[in-house]
C-alpha cells in the first residue's frame, strides 16, 4: 500500500517545520513522518544540504521505500545523501526483504572532482586535505559512506556514461546533479521513464534555487505525470502519478516553445508557500527570460519582481542580495541585452 493510501488525503497540509524564509519544510500530511528524527552519523555527514533535507532523505528510506525499485542517488558529493539513505534503509522494517531483491539498493552517482565552488565549502566546514581544483575527492566520499557501503553501488564518473543503458526501475530518485542542461535532459530521457507510477518519489534538490531555470521547466513539463508533495529548503518533492512514456519524452524532445517555458516557470514559482522562496524562483525566471528574449526583457521582469516582493527586495538577508545581484548580472551579460 502506498503512503498516500495509508495517510490522509494529499491535499491536507501539516504544520510548517522551522518557518524561517527559505529554511523550512512543508509536506503533504501523508508524508509528514519524513521529518522525524535523524541518525547522528547522517546529521554529521558533510553536506551542502540542510538538516531538514537530510531528514527527508532519511525518512524516505526508512518509512516509504518498499524495494519496488532502487534508490537512485544522483549527485552525492561527499556522501551525505548516501549516508541518509543507507541509515534510513537500515531502520526500514522491510530491509531484509529489500536487500534480498536488491543486494545494493542504493545506486550513488558522483563525478568526484573538485570544482571552483567546493574549496569555500571545505574551508567553511574545516575539511582539510582535499587537494586542488580538478583533483579527486573520492577518498573522502568513500570514508563518509563507509558505514553503509555494503548497501551502495557507487559509480564514479560522468553520469551521462555511468548511468547510460541501465533500465532498473527507480523508486526514489534524488537529483542533485542537474548542474547543466544536458544533464537535466539526460535525467528526463533516461531516469524519468524508469519511475514507477503510484510509487516513485522524485526529490529535485536544486528546484527552489535562483539559477538553473531548465530544472523547473523540465520538471513542470511533465506535471500531468506527478503530484507535488512538498518542499524542504531548496528541495521539491514529487510523487510519480503516471508512467512517462516514449510519446511523452518525444513531445518534450521536440522542444518547449518560449511562451510555454514562461508559463511553466510561473507554475514552478507558485509551488512554494514561502514568499522568499517564490521570489528566488522569480529570479530564476529572470534568467530564463534573458536566455529566451534577451537582457532587456529580463530586466523588465526583474523590475516587476522587485516591486511585487518589496520585503524580499529590501531585506538584509545576504542570500537574497546575492541572488538579486546574480540576476542583474545575467541581464547585463546577455548578448542581446
Is 163's pLDDT higher than 90?
yes
Chain centroid to Cα 43, Å, comes to 18
My answer on whether 60 and 137 are in the same domain is yes
264: in domain: no
My answer on whether 87 and 171 are in the same domain is yes
Task: Please state which of the ranges 44-53, 85-94, 220-229 shows the lowest mean pLDDT.
Answer: 44-53
Domain finish residue from 186, 218, 253:
253
Q: Give this prediction's pTM.
A: 0.91
My answer on whether 185 and 294 are in the same domain is no
My answer on whether 229 and 298 are in the same domain is no
267: in domain: no
Mode of pairing for the β-strands spanning 23-27 and 226-232: antiparallel
Share of the chain above pLDDT 70, in %: 92
> Domain with 100 in it: what CATH number?
3.40.50.150
Give the model's pLDDT for residue 20: 57
My answer on whether 149 and 287 are in the same domain is no
Chain centroid to Cα 240, Å, comes to 15
Share of the chain above pLDDT 90, in %: 80
Mean pLDDT of the chain: 91
263: in domain: no
My answer on whether 317 and 238 are in the same domain is no
* Model confidence pLDDT, tens digit, residues 33-42: 999 899 999 9
69: in domain: yes
88: in domain: yes
My answer on whether 279 and 249 are in the same domain is no
266: in domain: no
* Model confidence pLDDT, tens digit, residues 274-292: 999 999 999 999 999 999 9
Residue 330 dihedral angles phi and psi, to the nearest 5°: -60, -40
The three cell numbers locating residue 114: 573538485
Is 101's pLDDT higher than 90?
yes
11: in domain: yes
* Distance between CA atoms of residues 65 and 205, nearest Å: 18
My answer on whether 222 and 92 are in the same domain is yes
**Per the structure, how many domains does the chain have?**
2
User: Which residues constitute the domain of residue 228?
Assistant: 3-253
Amino acid at each position: 500500500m502506498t503512503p498516500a493510501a495509508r495517510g490522509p488525503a494529499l491535499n491536507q497540509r501539516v504544520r510548517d517545520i522551522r518557518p524561517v524564509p527559505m529554511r523550512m519544510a512543508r509536506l503533504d500530511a501523508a508524508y509528514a513522518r519524513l521529518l522525524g528524527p535523524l541518525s547522528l552519523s547522517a546529521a554529521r555527514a558533510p553536506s551542502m544540504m540542510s538538516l531538514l533535507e537530510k531528514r527527508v532523505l532519511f525518512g524516505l528510506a526508512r518509512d516509504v521505500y518498499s524495494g519496488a525499485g532502487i534508490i537512485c542517488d544522483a549527485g552525492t558529493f561527499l556522501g551525505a545523501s548516501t549516508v541518509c539513505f543507507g541509515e534510513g534503509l537500515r531502520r526500514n522494517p522491510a530491509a531484509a526483504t529489500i536487500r534480498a531483491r536488491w543486494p545494493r539498493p542504493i545506486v550513488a552517482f558522483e563525478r568526484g572532482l573538485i570544482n571552483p565552488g567546493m574549496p569555500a565549502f571545505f574551508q567553511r566546514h574545516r575539511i582539510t586535505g582535499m587537494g586542488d581544483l580538478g583533483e579527486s575527492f573520492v577518498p573522502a566520499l568513500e570514508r563518509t559512506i563507509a558505514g553503509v557501503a555494503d548497501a551502495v553501488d557507487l559509480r564514479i564518473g560522468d553520469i551521462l556514461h555511468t548511468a547510460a543503458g541501465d533500465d532498473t526501475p527507480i523508486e526514489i530518485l534524488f537529483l542533485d546533479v542537474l548542474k547543466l542542461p544536458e544533464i537535466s535532459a539526460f535525467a528526463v530521457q533516461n531516469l524519468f521513464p524508469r519511475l514507477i507510477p503510484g510509487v516513485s518519489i522524485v526529490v529535485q534538490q536544486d528546484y527552489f534555487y535562483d539559477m538553473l531555470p531548465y530544472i523547473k521547466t523540465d520538471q513542470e513539463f511533465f506535471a500531468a505525470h506527478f503530484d507535488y508533495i512538498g518542499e524542504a529548503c531548496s528541495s521539491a518533492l514529487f510523487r510519480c502519478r503516471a508512467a512517462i512514456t516514449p510519446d511523452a519524452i518525444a513531445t518534450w524532445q521536440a522542444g518547449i516553445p518560449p511562451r510555454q517555458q514562461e508559463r511553466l516557470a510561473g507554475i514552478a514559482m507558485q509551488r512554494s508557500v514561502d514568499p522568499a522562496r517564490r521570489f528566488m524562483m522569480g529570479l530564476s525566471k529572470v534568467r530564463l527570460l534573458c536566455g529566451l528574449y534577451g537582457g532587456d526583457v529580463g530586466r523588465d521582469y526583474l523590475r516587476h519582481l522587485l516591486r511585487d516582493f518589496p520585503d524580499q527586495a529590501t531585506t538584509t538577508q545576504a542570500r537574497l542580495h546575492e541572488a538579486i545581484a546574480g540576476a542583474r548580472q545575467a541581464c547585463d551579460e546577455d548578448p542581446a541585452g
